[in-house]
């Protein structure tokens, strides 16, 4: 069921259906049959502001705006900055003018999107800046909040990171269990290329022996070195030079990412930028 505004009308949704669908679901689970607290208020036109209570990188403007406009299509929203911009503590993010009931009812959903996606963008930017002196690129993973994968991967891009595969459908990735079930790396790669020749193919290896085998095979897009030590990563980079790009993954964080990037790997994937995040503190207040 589509969410309803305080006048009982169907919400006005963004032209971006992917954003609209996520926002509609969030509004529906929050408002349900109606915002009983907001119904106590006289519905008047008011002004409000969204303020940052801590520094970070802003992301989620379209999601927040879609939530607000869904409940009041005539609401005036003026953003003071753009997606991916750095924000400072106590900085004004936007001003609003519209229905008091609509603003109150949409407030939490709008802020939830802004706070969560800004957290992803902020953590991503922090790590991207740490390895900026190397040629390594930071990748996200599939370790995302259910239902928010598109949103979180968008936030990674806002923070300067690069998206890994979107899901299980747009790229083949052969991991330990795939390889074991297929009878080995060579057999797994042959099966993958025979059935999905046009898809990118990433193969995970756990040691240099497996890497040596992979380097003899054709049609591999990238090799993922899982939980390699720094010494082994240096050797892997030397072995694969000019043959196939390397991705490092496994228990990488802000304390180890620089040393890993300096080994010469092409990509570093970290699940924590979408999984282990702390929401950016924002507030919405009438003025």
Q: Which of 35, 204, 247, 266 is catalytic?
A: 204
The token pair that represents 224 in the structure block = 């993922």
**Who contacts 140 (Cβ-Cβ below 8 Å, separation ≥6)?**
124, 152, 153, 156, 161, 162, 163, 164, 269, 270, 271, 273, 274
Report d(CA 144, CA 166) in Å as an integer: 10
Determine whether 108 is an active site residue.
yes
Buried b / exposed e over 80-104, threshold 16 CB at 10 Å, is eeebbbebeeebebbebbbbbbbbb
Determine whether 175 is an active site residue.
yes
Determine whether 226 is an active site residue.
yes
Q: Which of 30, 54, 85, 108 is catalytic?
A: 108
Q: Which of 130, 142, 143, 193 is catalytic?
A: 143
What does each C-alpha distance from 281 to 159, 224, 284 come to in angstroms?
17, 35, 11
Q: Which of 72, 107, 226, 247 is catalytic?
A: 226
Q: Which of 175, 193, 232, 275 is catalytic?
A: 175
Any idea which residues carry the catalytic annotation? 108, 143, 175, 204, 226
């Amino acid at each position: 069921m589509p969410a309803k505004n305080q006048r009982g009308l169907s919400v006005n949704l963004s032209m971006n259906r992917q954003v609209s669908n996520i926002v509609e679901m969030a509004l529906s689970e929050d408002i349900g049959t109606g915002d009983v607290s907001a119904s106590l208020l006289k519905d008047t036109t008011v002004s409000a502001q969204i303020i940052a209570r801590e520094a970070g990188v802003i992301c989620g403007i379209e999601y927040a705006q879609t939530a607000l406009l869904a409940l009041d299509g005539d609401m005036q929203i003026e953003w003071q900055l753009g997606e991916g911009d750095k924000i400072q503590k106590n900085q004004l993010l936007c001003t609003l003018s519209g229905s008091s009931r609509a603003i109150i009812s949409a407030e939490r959903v709008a802020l939830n999107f802004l706070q969560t996606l800004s957290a992803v963008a902020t953590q991503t930017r922090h790590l991207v800046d740490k390895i900026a002196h190397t040629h390594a690129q930071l990748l996200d993973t599939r370790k995302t909040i259910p239902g928010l994968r598109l949103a979180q991967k968008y936030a990674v891009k806002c923070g300067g990171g690069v998206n890994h595969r979107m899901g299980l459908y747009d790229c083949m990735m052969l991991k330990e269990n795939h390889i074991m079930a297929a009878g080995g790396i060579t057999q797994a790669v042959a099966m993958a290329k025979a059935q999905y020749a046009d898809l990118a193919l990433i193969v995970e290896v756990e040691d240099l022996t497996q890497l040596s085998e992979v380097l003899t095979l054709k049609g591999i897009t990238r090799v993922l070195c899982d939980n390699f030590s720094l010494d082994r990563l240096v050797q892997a980079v030397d072995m694969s030079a000019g043959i196939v790009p390397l991705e490092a993954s496994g228990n990488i964080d802000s304390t180890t990412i620089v040393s890993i990037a300096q080994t010469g790997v092409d990509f570093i994937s970290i699940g924590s930028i979408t999984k282990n995040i702390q929401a950016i503190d924002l507030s919405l207040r009438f003025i």
